[in-house]
Structure 1
Amino acid sequence: MIYIIVVIVLCLIHLVGGQTLNSNGDILDINMDMILDLQSRLAFLERHQNELDKQQKIDRIKQRQTDQLRISDLEKQRQTDQLRISDLEKQRQTDQLRISDLEKQRQTDQLRISDLEKQRQTDQLRISDLEKQRQTDQLRISDLEKQRQTDQLRISDLEKQRQTDQLRISDLEKQRQTDHRRISDLGKRQRTDQRISELEISGDYYQNDTEKTRPQFTTKTTIVNAPPLGRMNRGKRVSPSLQMVAFYAILSHGYDPITNTMDIHFDQVVTNLGDAYNGQASVFTSPKNGVYVFTWMVHVNTRWVYTDLVKNGVTVGTGFAGDSDYSMAGGNTVVVQLNEGDTVWIRIADHLSGTTIVHYRNVSSFSGFLLQ
Structure 2
Amino acid sequence: MSGDSSTGMGRGLAPRLMLAQVLVLGASVLTAGLVAAFVGPPLFHHHMLEAGHVPNTPELAHIEEAYRDSSFVSLGVALVFALVCAAAVTWYVTRRLQAPLGALAKAAREVSRGHLGARVGDFGSGVEFDELGRAFNLMAGQLEQTEETRRRLLSDLAHELRTPIATLTVYCEGLRDGVTTWNSDTERVMTEQTQRLARLAADLDDVSRAEEGRLSLERSATPVRDLIWSAWQAKREAFARQGVDLVADTDGAPDVDVDVDPRRLGQVLDNLLANALRHSHAGGSVHLSARTVDDTVEISVTDTGDGISAEQLPHVFDRFYRGDTARDRDRAGSGLGLTISRAIADAHQGSLVADSPGPGEGATFTVTLPAFTRLPH
Band of TM-score, shorter chain: under 0.3
Q: Higher helix fraction: Structure 1 or Structure 2?
A: 2
From the CA coordinates, give the structure whose radius of gyration is larger. 1
Q: Higher strand fraction: Structure 1 or Structure 2?
A: 1
TM-score normalized by structure 2?
0.26
